Chains A and B, each alone.
Chain A
Amino acid sequence: MNNSFFERKYIIQGIFIIAAFLLACRLFYLQIIDDSYILSANNNVLRKVVVYPARGVILDRTGKILVQNEPVYDLMVTPREVKPFDTLALCELIGIDKEGFDKRYQKAVNFSPYRASIFEKQLSAQTYARLQEKLFQFRGFYVQNRTVRSYPDSVAAQFLGYINEVTEKDIERSNHFYRPGDYIGVSGVERAYEELLRGQRGVQNLMVDAFNRPKGHFMDGKYDTLAVAGEGLVSSLDLELQKLAEKLMKNKRGSVVAIEPSTGEILAFASTPSYDPNMMVGRERGNNYMKLLNDPNKPMFIRPIQAQYPPGSVFKVVSALVAQQANMIDEHTRWNCPGGYSYGGGRGFMRCTHVHGTIDLPAAIQGSCNTYFGHVYARMIDQRKMKSTNAYSLWRDAVMKFGIAQELGVDLPNEKKGLLPTADFYSKRYGNDKWGSGYNISNSIGQGEVEITTLQMANIMAIVANRGHYFRPHLIKSIGEKKVVKKEFTEKISVDIDQKYFEPVIEGMSRVVKYNANIRIPDIEMCGKTGTAQNPHGKHHSVFFAFAPRVNPKIAIAVFVENVGYGATYAAPIASMMVEKYLKDTISMSKAVQERVLKESNLIVPDAPETTEQTTSKLSPTKRKIEKNVEYVRHSEVALINDTKKQTTENQIIQGR
């Protein structure tokens, strides 16, 4: 037996132990000391998948759908998983060319070779159906469905607004609530009610295997959150009425606002020229958006709340109410109209449309007598036993209670205030506070510096209909399944005019409609008033505002059609049809008038964009100063120039007696 090397077993055993010790040290380092591996492991396995909630659906007041969600399909790609395939076939299926394919693919690779990114957005259901059959040929591609907005009736574009992918700024502003790829309401109700409509994102913690295939939920979904769909909104719009409004306003520039006086709910909210809200959805969205943005007719301009016009005759209504409340006139106060109002010791003359003779308040409203309201205004400013600047301020405060020159607080973003200058403004303009009614007599008939939106005009009608109060006009009737109504919309706002002062005004307005066969509605006593907003830059704006019925009114309406000329050629018949449609669900107006209103010819004047801007934007202070000296002259001139035309038109259409 030769076993002389037996002591070497200790060396060998020592080697075993040292080797094991080495392994143990390394294991200790990997598993106990170094924490980074647990993170890497989670990165390997966990994928946070955001579950997008469905955006809230918006209904009209009768439950018909205004906006809903429609499924679309995003084609996703994970470059690393892509195997060679027939690129041309895929290009053909989704309608792109090879170049487009390369560009998109490169973009995806740049984003991450290992993570899925959007290859092509918003494929239609048809494209998806065709693609799905062949998708197995394209390894690494898959389809993820999402929803987009869809507007079944293509109406109320400016009211509903649109959504868009969030920008960097949106993300920052929201404190990173939004993430790239999210959608956010940009205008209209979509923006105003964004917080309610967007719902709550859900997160799924999915585990994936080495091939990025989902393998179930982490910890059985313990850390997952469900997506909560956005709140549904019931709007105050009446879909049928809205459709009618948009139809009637076709090929015209202007706006229609109808309000339910007892609630302040807006029944119709038309702004033309308009666009199909479906244009702001889908793959052509970008192109369409640019098209709309560059359209000289500014279809994205929300006219009812953003276009500011000289109010014209509606102001006479307010003026009459304010003067009665101030005890400066009553319904029997009479003035003689010799065909105009002379002021400033005979230096100025504001023409009236007619020689009205001696008339009382209802007749002055009925006849829209400039002379009468010149006198009313002069009393309010010059004869109140106080400095006229103070008197003006008092008058202005009273007028402003009607919602003029202030935001009504409608539930849409970017509402314009309109304009009613302060006493200081005039003191500055004239260099001292010694001015009187003669210096801004045009205010008395709603011309000059005064500006108002169609919404404010409709709201004034609601105030008259309610005989002294209004509810904040709003577009969303109730929120969610519980039908929550915002508190600010239930608050009754008084204009501090006694109820009895409304009757003479309403009587005058009632007569306007009663004596006009074209706009009279059988069995319904509508009280309305035509207006003609003078526009020094082009044809006058046609205005009509009304409410009906006289007793227990159900609808107040204002129609503003730009640049279509005098009187109520268009505005009055449109309003009449709207009211009848709403109250009786029929239209009895003579076919001839209907056709004239609806005629296809385009009434949008070519130089219109400029006009709109000038009408709706305030003149710069310098410009005003220059015009100061010619002011007295201007009124007379304008009145003179337009006299002939105006007479004939108004006689034909309105006065028809």
Chain B
Amino acid sequence: MNQTRKIYGGSVDWITVFIWLALCIIGWFNIRAAVFDPQHASLVSLSTNYGKQFLYIVVCLLVASAVMIIDGKFYNYISPLLYGITLLLLVIVLIVGRNVGGNQAWIPIGTFRLQPSEFAKLGACLLLARYLSSHSNKMPNLKTLLFGAFILFVPVLLIMLQPDTGSALTFFALTLVFYREGYVSGQFLSFAFVCIVLFILTLLFSQWYIIGALAILCALSIYMFKRSRKMIQSIVIGFIASSFFVLMVDFVYEHILQTHQRNRIDVILGKVDDPRGQGYNLNQSKIAIGSGQLFGKGYLQGTQTKYNFVPEQSTDFIFCTVGEEWGFVGSMVVVLLYVALLLRITQLAERQRSAFARIYGYGVASIFFFHFFINIGMTIGIVPVIGIPLPFLSYGGSSLLSFTMLLFILLKFDSNRKGVV
């Protein structure tokens, strides 16, 4: 009796549930607006995206309830199996998958399509948490880090074969988990950040200018720290490393990246101005959001999204509908809900007694964060176009279900955090 009350009542984190529900509902209304056609205005017809999404939300409610009923330990035990299943699905999709828009990412099941890469995140997240938690009583070491990274690497490899770069990139967000657990240092994060900055600068300017600028910077630093031999040493090493990196950028850019990826980067950097061609998606997306102004055009009044100017307006570009119809105010509500969700998740993760639950919690937060920042950032032109959904808002059963499961498994852990997982 007491146990039941704990699960369904007091110790469920209703704040998170509320945010989840709010985002799902906002998502549903915006999907409806994105594809709205006054001639076919029925609310739950399965022939429309919003009709299907309604069904998915109901399914997710049931699945969420189920997740909450199942004992928390189960997820720890099941994680290798779940990981294996998702890998299997990722292999299957390469064989029987349906190719949509150049990505072989969907397994057709009746009229529905399953996107294994969404569930792979869940599998990988759980297994990583299990693996790292089993080593949590030791000091973080490289071997553990490498094996943890390997857990992520396998699904990334399989997803890259589809090829679905966006989904694959998501796994890199789990770097934050390694950081939190001490496997990578703050310097590494800074280093990654510097690399990104250098990468962008190199694309914008000639690599020799960058190396020249770096040289001047180093010379100044050496002059400043001329007393410390150690500093000078690391500055010189840093200079050599970054010069090498800069020289590599061009090669990577020209030979490793695919044309459409290069184009997306060029567009975001303003190197090409082609609003009708390569920059069409981004330009239309910015027009839709920008034309929303402070309070938006009003529900179902958005013209850019409704009349198909914005591509993928109910999936990857769902935020355009929010921006256009609800304006800055509505956009900020969504952004703040995500921030609240992310902060709440970290908080939940930190209050777990078990390392498994904590690591898993950070995994969930990292994945949500990556999706949230990249997706919205792409619609407003601060990151290149990477086709990944906005959690709970974008249309799509697979992503909604996998995000919901990710979240509610954490809530399950949280609800009996005082027990031993």
| A interface residue numbers (CB < 8 A to B) | 1-6, 8-9, 11-13, 15-17, 19-20, 22-24, 26-28, 30-32, 34, 36-38, 40-42, 44-45, 207-211, 215
Complex contacts, A37 vs chain B, CB 8 Å = 286-287, 289-291
The answer, yes or no, to whether B396 is at the interface (CB within 8 Å) is no
Are A13 and B346 within 8 A (Cβ)? Answer: yes
Chain B, Cβ-Cβ closest to A211: B308
22 A-B pairs with C-beta separation under 8 A: A2-B355, A5-B180, A5-B181, A12-B176, A12-B346, A16-B343, A23-B382, A26-B377, A27-B335, A27-B380, A28-B328, A30-B286, A30-B323, A32-B293, A32-B294, A38-B290, A41-B287, A41-B290, A41-B303, A42-B291, A44-B304, A209-B309
Distance to closest chain A CB from B260 (angstroms): 20
Instruction: Give the B interface residue count (CB, 8 A).
Output: 52
The verdict on A31 contacting B293 (CB below 8 Å), with A2-B137, A210-B307 known, is: yes
Q: How far is the CA of A537 from the CA of B392 in the complex (A)?
A: 98
Chain B, Cβ-Cβ closest to A16: B342
The verdict on A209 contacting B350 (CB below 8 Å), with A26-B380, A30-B286, A31-B292 known, is: no
Are B291 and A38 within 8 A (Cβ)? Answer: yes
The answer, yes or no, to whether B338 is at the interface (CB within 8 Å) is yes
Complex contacts, A22 vs chain B, CB 8 Å = 377, 382
Q: How far is the CA of A330 from the CA of B349 in the complex (A)?
A: 128
Complex contacts, A23 vs chain B, CB 8 Å = 335, 373, 376-377, 380, 382
Hey, what's the 0/1 contact readout for B263-301 against A, CB within 8 Å counting as 1? 000000000000000000000101111111110000000
Complex contacts, B291 vs chain A, CB 8 Å = 37-38, 40-42
Are B350 and A207 within 8 A (Cβ)? Answer: no
Are A44 and B309 within 8 A (Cβ)? Answer: yes
Are B294 and A31 within 8 A (Cβ)? Answer: yes
Q: How far is the CA of A4 from the CA of B183 in the complex (A)?
A: 12
Complex contacts, B338 vs chain A, CB 8 Å = 20
Complex contacts, B376 vs chain A, CB 8 Å = 23
Are A31 and B303 within 8 A (Cβ)? Answer: no
Complex contacts, A215 vs chain B, CB 8 Å = 306-307
Q: How far is the CA of A656 from the CA of B181 in the complex (A)?
A: 133
Q: How far is the CA of A424 from the CA of B294 in the complex (A)?
A: 80
The verdict on A26 contacting B327 (CB below 8 Å), with A38-B290, A45-B304, A209-B308 known, is: no
- Name A20's contact: one of B179, B327, B339, B365 (CB within 8 Å): B339
- Name A2's contact: one of B138, B307, B335 (CB within 8 Å): B138
Distance to closest chain A CB from B180 (angstroms): 5
Hey, what's the 0/1 contact readout for B198-210 against A, CB within 8 Å counting as 1? 0000000000000
Chain A, Cβ-Cβ closest to B176: A12
The answer, yes or no, to whether B212 is at the interface (CB within 8 Å) is no
The answer, yes or no, to whether B136 is at the interface (CB within 8 Å) is yes
Distance to closest chain A CB from B96 (angstroms): 32
Besides A9-B180, A16-B365, A20-B336, 18 other A-B contacts (C-beta < 8 A):
A2-B355, A3-B358, A8-B186, A9-B349, A11-B179, A12-B179, A13-B343, A17-B343, A19-B369, A20-B339, A22-B382, A26-B380, A37-B289, A38-B293, A44-B303, A45-B307, A207-B307, A215-B307
Q: How far is the CA of A215 from the CA of B309 in the complex (A)?
A: 13
Q: How far is the CA of A6 from the CA of B352 in the complex (A)?
A: 12
Chain B, Cβ-Cβ closest to A8: B180
Complex contacts, A26 vs chain B, CB 8 Å = 377, 380-382
Complex contacts, B284 vs chain A, CB 8 Å = 44, 210
Complex contacts, B306 vs chain A, CB 8 Å = 209, 215
Q: How far is the CA of A13 from the CA of B336 in the complex (A)?
A: 13
Distance to closest chain A CB from B363 (angstroms): 12
The answer, yes or no, to whether B182 is at the interface (CB within 8 Å) is yes
Distance to closest chain A CB from B139 (angstroms): 8
Are A12 and B180 within 8 A (Cβ)? Answer: yes
Q: How far is the CA of A32 from the CA of B380 in the complex (A)?
A: 13
Hey, what's the 0/1 contact readout for B307-348 against A, CB within 8 Å counting as 1? 111000000000000011001100110011011001100100
Distance to closest chain A CB from B242 (angstroms): 23
- Name B331's contact: one of A4, A31, A42 (CB within 8 Å): A31
Q: How far is the CA of A207 from the CA of B301 in the complex (A)?
A: 12
Are A41 and B136 within 8 A (Cβ)? Answer: no
Total contacts A to B, CB within 8 angstroms?
135
Are B287 and A40 within 8 A (Cβ)? Answer: yes
Complex contacts, B119 vs chain A, CB 8 Å = none
Chain B, Cβ-Cβ closest to A37: B290
Q: How far is the CA of A257 from the CA of B329 in the complex (A)?
A: 77
Are B304 and A19 within 8 A (Cβ)? Answer: no
Distance to closest chain A CB from B350 (angstroms): 5
Chain B, Cβ-Cβ closest to A36: B290
Chain A, Cβ-Cβ closest to B382: A26
Distance to closest chain A CB from B345 (angstroms): 10
- Name A41's contact: one of B288, B365, B369, B380 (CB within 8 Å): B288
Q: How far is the CA of A34 from the CA of B376 in the complex (A)?
A: 18
Complex contacts, B171 vs chain A, CB 8 Å = none
Are B309 and A30 within 8 A (Cβ)? Answer: no
Q: How far is the CA of A224 from the CA of B20 in the complex (A)?
A: 44
The answer, yes or no, to whether B362 is at the interface (CB within 8 Å) is yes
Complex contacts, A45 vs chain B, CB 8 Å = 303-304, 307, 309
Complex contacts, B373 vs chain A, CB 8 Å = 19-20, 23
Q: How far is the CA of A45 from the CA of B328 in the complex (A)?
A: 21
Q: Among A2, A26, A27, which residue has the most Cβ atoms of chain B within 10 A?
A: A27
Distance to closest chain B CB from A21 (angstroms): 9
Which residues, 105 to 137 on B, are CB-close (under 8 Å) to A? Answer: 136-137
Q: How far is the CA of A489 from the CA of B413 in the complex (A)?
A: 98
Complex contacts, B381 vs chain A, CB 8 Å = 26
Q: How far is the CA of A34 from the CA of B291 in the complex (A)?
A: 9
Q: Among A2, A22, A28, A38, which residue has the most Cβ atoms of chain B within 10 A?
A: A2
Complex contacts, A2 vs chain B, CB 8 Å = 136-139, 355
Complex contacts, B355 vs chain A, CB 8 Å = 1-3
Q: How far is the CA of A208 from the CA of B308 in the complex (A)?
A: 10
Q: Among B303, B338, B376, which residue has the most Cβ atoms of chain A within 10 A?
A: B303
Distance to closest chain B CB from A245 (angstroms): 59
Q: How far is the CA of A434 from the CA of B332 in the complex (A)?
A: 101
Q: How far is the CA of A208 from the CA of B306 in the complex (A)?
A: 10
Q: How far is the CA of A42 from the CA of B303 in the complex (A)?
A: 9
The verdict on A27 contacting B328 (CB below 8 Å), with A17-B339, A37-B290 known, is: yes
Complex contacts, B182 vs chain A, CB 8 Å = 4-5, 8
Complex contacts, A41 vs chain B, CB 8 Å = 287-288, 290-291, 303-304, 324
Complex contacts, A8 vs chain B, CB 8 Å = 179-180, 182, 186
Q: How far is the CA of A5 from the CA of B343 in the complex (A)?
A: 17
Q: How far is the CA of A1 from the CA of B289 in the complex (A)?
A: 47
- Name A27's contact: one of B138, B309, B331, B358 (CB within 8 Å): B331
Are B308 and A31 within 8 A (Cβ)? Answer: no
Complex contacts, A17 vs chain B, CB 8 Å = 339, 343
Chain B, Cβ-Cβ closest to A31: B328
The verdict on A27 contacting B289 (CB below 8 Å), with A12-B362, A19-B369, A44-B304 known, is: yes
The verdict on A1 contacting B137 (CB below 8 Å), with A30-B289, A38-B291 known, is: yes
Q: How far is the CA of A223 from the CA of B181 in the complex (A)?
A: 62
Complex contacts, B362 vs chain A, CB 8 Å = 12
Chain A, Cβ-Cβ closest to B381: A26
Q: How far is the CA of A280 from the CA of B343 in the complex (A)?
A: 78
Distance to closest chain A CB from B409 (angstroms): 20
Distance to closest chain A CB from B307 (angstroms): 3
Complex contacts, B307 vs chain A, CB 8 Å = 44-45, 207-210, 215
Nearest 7 pairs of A and B residues by beta carbon: A37-B290, A209-B307, A41-B291, A31-B328, A210-B308, A5-B182, A45-B303
Hey, what's the 0/1 contact readout for B131-172 against A, CB within 8 Å counting as 1? 000001111000000000000000000000000000000000
Q: How far is the CA of A37 from the CA of B355 in the complex (A)?
A: 48
Distance to closest chain B CB from A593 (angstroms): 74
Chain B, Cβ-Cβ closest to A28: B328
Q: How far is the CA of A364 from the CA of B371 in the complex (A)?
A: 111
Complex contacts, A27 vs chain B, CB 8 Å = 289, 323, 328, 331-332, 335, 380
Complex contacts, B137 vs chain A, CB 8 Å = 1-2
Q: Among B186, B338, B376, which residue has the most Cβ atoms of chain A within 10 A?
A: B376
